Amino acid sequence: MTPIPRALSAEAMALAARLELGADRQQPVGQALEAMYAILDRLDAVPLGETPPATAFDARWEG
């Protein structure tokens, strides 16, 4: 899967960070968000085959 380029506006960054961002913080936060989205894109590209999603894991001990 090809990564989707993301153009993050100041409003989108503030919403994702759940903060009010001043102009001096927008670039560092934008870079951090782009790095996180790049990692998520790499995870999406991993072929899982028949592997169930982690949300199907049941950690209860029975026996």
Return phi, psi of residue 62, to 5°.
Answer: -125, 135
pLDDT for 35 equals 85
Q: Check residue 56 and report its DSSP letter.
A: G
Instruction: Confirm whether 2 is domain-assigned.
Output: no
Instruction: Confirm whether 57 is domain-assigned.
Output: no
pLDDT for 3 equals 53
Instruction: Confirm whether 14 is domain-assigned.
Output: yes
Burial of 26 by CB count in 10 Å (0-12 exposed, 13-18 middle, 19+ buried)?
middle
Taking the model in full, what pTM does it have? 0.54
Containing structural domain, residue 14: 10-44
Instruction: Confirm whether 20 is domain-assigned.
Output: yes
Instruction: Confirm whether 50 is domain-assigned.
Output: no
- Per-residue pLDDT 10s for the chain (63 aa) are 555 556 667 777 777 767 777 888 878 877 888 888 888 888 888 887 887 777 766 778 776
Q: How many domains does the chain have?
A: 1
